[in-house]
Every structure is written in C-alpha cells, then in structure tokens.
Amino acid sequence: MTVRPLTVVIFDDFQILDAAGPIAAFEIASRFVTDGYDLKVVAPGAGWVKSSSGAAMLAQELDDRPLDTLLVAGGDGTRPGRLDPRVVALVAAAAARASRIVSICSGAFILAEAGLLNGRRATTHWNRTADFRRRFPLVQLQPDRIYVRDGPVWTSAGITAGIDLALALIAEDLGEIVARATAQHLVAPRQRPGGQSQFSGLVEMGGATGRFAELLNGARQRLTDRLGVEDLAHACAMSPRNFARAFVRDVGMTPAKAIEHLRVQAARDQLEAGASVEQAAMAAGFGDAERLRRAMLRSFGQPPQALRRTARAQA
C-alpha cells in the first residue's frame, strides 16, 4: 500500500476551517482507497497552536519524510505570520521538497512572501484582494476564482473554498469517483458553479475603504443607464484612467465587472420574483436575454432559465 504524504502548515491565529475542512476531505477520501493520504499537521514549534477562534490544533515539527503535498492554512494569523521568519522558513523548506504546493484562503500571502507565487496565477479571499495586489505585484491575481491551479501550485479563495480545492486534488490523485463519493459524504457540492463574486461583499461595501459605496449604490438604482467607465469617472470627478486604477485597487475588480455583478444580482432578484428572462434582462440593464445569459453563466455557471426554474420550484 502506497500513501500520499500531505503536510498542513498552521501558525498562531490560523483559521481553523482552512485546515480542518481540507483535512476532513482527505481523511474521508482515504476511506475509499488503499493509497490515500498520510496527514500531518506542522508548525514552527511542536505543540498546541491556537486558532483565531480560540480552539487549538496539535502540531508537530517538520520532519524529513518525503512530501507529496504541502498545504498552508490562512486566517488572521497570516498578517503577522508572513512577517515571521520561522513561518516563512518552514513553508519554504517544505515547499522545496514538495511535489505540489497549496494555500487556502489568505495562506496565499505566506506563499507569496516566500516567493512561491511570483509570475504565477493565484487567488485568495475576496476581502483581501486589494491588499494582496498592493503587496505582491508580481503575482497574477485572479480574484473571482474559487481556486486556481498554476502548474504544481494551487491556491483557493476564502475558507470553505478550501474544501472545493481539496476535492479537486482528490479527483486528480484518486479519480473523480472518489472525489464525488467524498463530496457526498461531506454533504458538499463536488464543484460549485461561478466564482467568488457571487459571495463577495466588496461591491456592497464599495471596496476596502468604502470610497465607492455611494457611487455603486447610485448605480444600483439606475442599472438601465449606460454606466460606462467614463460615466462613472465623471460622477467621481476623476479622469477615466485614474478612476479605473483607483477602483480596481480599492474594490478588487474592474468597474465593468462590478456593474455586471450589480446587474446580475438585480436580474436574479427579478427572476426569483417571477419575471421572464426577457423582462429581467431589460430591468437589469442588459438590453437583451442573450447578454444576460452570458453574464449569468460567468457569475453562476447557470443560465437564467435554470435559476428561474429553481425559484419556481421553491415557491
């Protein structure tokens, strides 16, 4: 029997679900096969490591065993953790002999601090994308993805997205049948449709600082208007170029993507209230049903007809 060594790195004030969610998925997957995972939790020092919730997890020190997968948890502790030379050195040492490197949520900050994401595509929790872009300009951040794979490096969005990523790793290692059986046991979807924007509060908050909250609230009230970059910039008394840069830096997505997000949410509300696809498209400012269909496929992975059928079935 061959097992797959998998090491999970934690640190003070890590998010416990970032570690426990994937660990549970790997544990359950191992029940279905003889070549599952040999799980170990490590930290800069052996012993109990307190999570941000106050619950603790018992960790070992990194040993010299062969390492198939390195997984780095995220959480509030990544802020001091990425500046802690013990944490960064631990991750760098483990990554040097790992076949695959994984981060959950804001664990991407630690991978980036160790130089493991330079030039690569990656994602992290939607609430920290603006900060991530500022600190790590060499990383090709994709903020609307549930998880991103770039060669041997995998990164996931926030918290429960770590389970999505774990199921994808299980599918790669042990096959789709085992991944689906694991998801069923977890009572979790094998693969969620759409990206992070469907869960994101960035648009509602107007960005990390709230600078664009009034602008976006106003846009929400007039979605049938043009709402191009020039129009939005004019409303903020900014040049289109400066506005676009400031908006992406603060909100974590382009102005066009934010307006599409507002329109998709408005169209979904219309569909759930019983409107036809054509009526929802017009009310939300898409102009025609085909543009709405494409936008909903990007955001939710489903066409508007499917969302309308679901709403009617639940009525």
Distance separating alpha carbons of residues 70 and 83, to the nearest angstrom: 20
Q: Which active-site residues does the annotation give?
A: 105
Cα gap 22→133, rounded to integer Å: 26
CA–CA separation, 259 and 120 (whole Å): 28
DSSP 58: E
Reading the block at residue 94, the tokens are 């483990």
Give CA separation, 121 vs 139, 153, 239, 288, in Å. Answer: 6, 9, 30, 34
| Greatest extent of the chain over all pairs of C-alpha atoms, in Å | 67
CB within 8 Å of 257: residues ≥ 6 apart: 144, 197
